[in-house]
């Protein structure tokens, strides 16, 4: 039996794409290899959002050069955001790679599969995993039209394209029949869902339709853009029982000058108003955000405004990245990357240490409380799962059945996880 190996880095969208490739290959009769060395087909799903990620991909590609030399019959494929519309320069740089396909460019993979003796890829059917998973990613909108000045994603993933709501409904129904209990709807700007469709459907409508699926326990969605977050959507999260009180709302910077240079389309005041409205409408909501530090020209004072926003808003989780100039983007073309790497790293570490203190305080308030956990599996001899607010919980006790909701009494907390005992 032929075997495949998939290596993935990057965002949830990449993980969802890799899952779809795996589903296709399993349906075609291949089995998963434990390492690249044992595989007949190696797929690298790449991320180039930051230089650091790109370097990892390049290292991985270089590490496969020798393998291809000793086993020329192995097929190596590269996908993800490293593959642009003209992969010729990649072919020249990595001649040992056999196949390049852009994210979602399934027709290229399918054509190659047929030449390799596999059935064609069926983009809809291959969304459903063969082995059941408690939590499944469901892309609902691909691409992005926003063109934030620092971001390479729109250049590599193309224009925003919402999936048809009936197709998404069928997809989630099938997942639930296969044992899935929680779906995470994905989009670069997930709250823009539907705007490009001829019918007047939005994310709130989609959530309401999914909420009616019997057997589905929880629904989440990521990532929301502040400019697209509507009152209707906020109310849907508050009203629909399966939709978790958890919103991922990247702010990126706390200074209005930097926000304008990033082309984010809102001010810190508008963001603050939105957070107020979300917190008034959805009691107990968990909020997460993304922040970039060291954007071109960011002064110490401007960076301090980002810290102020973190201190004031008290997010449950913050993903902090140091600015990394990306080719093709307007920031890389027009703005000088003028902060030294050590300065960017110092700002990143300062923001992280502040956020760790805040998250530790927020989680400490859960000590002694009972929280509802969806059991996902076991790790290091303990059951693990997540709360509705997306907090990771490790627990003991005999209530642990994968895919069930259990009540857990919290006995220990830290900035990144909770520990407890099942009731």
Question: How near is the Cβ of 138 to ligand SAM at its closest, in Å?
Answer: 17
Applying CB under 6 A, the site for ligand SAM has a residue count of 18
Q: Give the binding range for ligand SF4 (CB under 6 A) out of 86-94, 104-112, 146-154, 362-370.
A: 146-154
- Residue 321: count other Cβ atoms within 10 Å of its Cβ: 18
Q: Is 274 in the site for ligand SAM (CB under 6 A)?
A: no
CA 148 to CA 260: how far, in whole Å?
10
75 interface partner picked from ligand SAM, ligand SF4, none, CB below 5 to 8 A per type:
none
Name the token pair of 198: 């001829």
Helix axis angle, 12-27 to 106-115, nearest 10°: 30
DSSP letter (8 states) at residue 365: T
DSSP letter (8 states) at residue 193: T
Q: Is 196 in the site for ligand SF4 (CB under 6 A)?
A: no
Q: Is 147 in the site for ligand SF4 (CB under 6 A)?
A: yes
**Please, which of residues 93-152 interact with ligand SAM by CB under 6 A?**
150-151
293 interface partner picked from ligand SAM, ligand SF4, none, CB below 5 to 8 A per type:
none
Q: Is 154 in the site for ligand SF4 (CB under 6 A)?
A: yes
Among 225, 268, 317, 326, binds ligand SF4 (CB under 6 A): 225
One character per residue 218-247, x = contact with ligand SAM (rule: CB under 6 A): -----x-x----------------------
When the beta carbons of 39 and 153 are compared against ligand SAM, the nearer one is 153
Give how far Cα 390 sits from Cα of 256, 264, 286, Å: 30, 26, 8
Question: How near is the Cβ of 78 to ligand SAM at its closest, in Å?
Answer: 19
DSSP states of 33-100: -SSGGG-SEEEEEE--SSHHHHHHHHHHHHHTHHHHHH-TTSEEEEEETT--S-THHHHHH-TT--EE
- Residue 422: count other Cβ atoms within 10 Å of its Cβ: 18
Q: Is 49 in the site for ligand SAM (CB under 6 A)?
A: yes
Whether cis (ω within 30° of 0) applies to the bond prior to 223 is: yes
154 interface partner picked from ligand SF4, ligand SAM, none, CB below 5 to 8 A per type:
ligand SF4
Among 290, 345, 352, 372, binds ligand SAM (CB under 6 A): 290
Name the token pair of 373: 């956990």
When the beta carbons of 192 and 410 are compared against ligand SF4, the nearer one is 192
Among 99, 184, 189, 331, binds ligand SF4 (CB under 6 A): 189
Q: Is 355 in the site for ligand SAM (CB under 6 A)?
A: no
CB-based contact 1:32 (threshold 8 Å): no
Q: Is 160 in the site for ligand SAM (CB under 6 A)?
A: no
Among 43, 121, 127, 144, binds ligand SF4 (CB under 6 A): 144
Give the phi and the psi of residue 286 in degrees, each rounded to 5: -95, 130
CA 37 to CA 121: how far, in whole Å?
25
CA 369 to CA 87: how far, in whole Å?
54
Name the token pair of 282: 């959805």
Q: Which helix (H) or strand (E) holds 364?
A: helix 341-364
Q: What residues make contact with ligand SAM under the rule CB under 6 A?
A: 11, 49-50, 150-151, 153, 188-189, 223, 225, 250, 252, 290, 292, 321, 323-324, 326
Q: What residues make contact with ligand SF4 under the rule CB under 6 A?
A: 144, 146-148, 151, 153-154, 188-189, 225
């Amino acid at each position: 039996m032929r075997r495949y190996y998939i290596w993935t880095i990057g965002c949830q969208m990449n993980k969802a794409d890799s899952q779809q490739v795996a589903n296709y290959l399993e349906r075609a009769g291949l089995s998963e290899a434990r390492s690249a060395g044992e595989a007949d087909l190696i797929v690298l799903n790449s991320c180039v959002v930051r230089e650091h990620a790109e370097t990892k991909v390049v290292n991985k590609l270089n590490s496969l050069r020798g393998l291809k030399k000793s086993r020329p019959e192995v097929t190596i494929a590269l996908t993800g955001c490293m593959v642009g519309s003209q992969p010729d320069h990649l072919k020249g740089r990595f001649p040992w790679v056999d196949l390049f396909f852009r994210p979602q460019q399934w027709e290229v993979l399918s054509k190659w599969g047929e030449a390799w003796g596999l059935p064609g890829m069926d983009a809809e059917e291959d969304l459903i995993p063969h082995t059941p998973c408690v939590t499944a990613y469901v892309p609902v909108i691909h691409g992005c039209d926003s063109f934030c000045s620092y971001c390479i994603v729109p250049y590599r993933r193309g224009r925003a394209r919402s999936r048809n709501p009936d197709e998404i409904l069928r997809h989630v129904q099938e997942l639930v029949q296969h044992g899935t209990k929680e779906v995470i709807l994905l989009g670069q700007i997930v709250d823009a869902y539907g705007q490009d469709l001829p019918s007047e459907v939005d994310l709130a409508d989609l959530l309401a339709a999914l909420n009616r699926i019997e057997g589905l326990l929880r629904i989440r969605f990521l990532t929301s853009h502040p400019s697209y977050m509507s009152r209707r959507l906020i109310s849907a999260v508050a009203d629909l029982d399966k939709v978790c009180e958890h919103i991922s709302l990247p702010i990126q910077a706390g200074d209005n000058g930097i926000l304008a240079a990033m082309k984010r389309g809102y001010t810190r005041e508008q963001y603050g108003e939105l957070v107020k409205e979300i917190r008034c409408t959805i009691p107990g909501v968990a909020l997460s955000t993304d922040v970039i530090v060291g954007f071109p020209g960011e002064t110490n004072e401007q960076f301090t405004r980002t810290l102020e926003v973190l201190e004031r808003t008290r997010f449950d989780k913050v993903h902090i990245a140091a600015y990394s100039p990306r080719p093709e983007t307007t920031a890389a073309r027009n703005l000088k990357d003028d902060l030294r790497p050590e300065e960017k790293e110092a700002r990143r570490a300062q923001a992280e240490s502040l956020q760790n203190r805040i998250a530790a305080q927020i989680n400490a308030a859960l000590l002694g409380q009972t929280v509802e956990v969806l059991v996902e599996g076991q790790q290091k001899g303990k059951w693990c799962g997540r709360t509705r607010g997306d907090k990771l919980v490790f627990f003991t006790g005999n209530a642990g059945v994968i895919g069930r909701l259990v009540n857990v009494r919290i006995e220990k907390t830290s900035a990144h996880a909770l520990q407890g005992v099942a009731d």
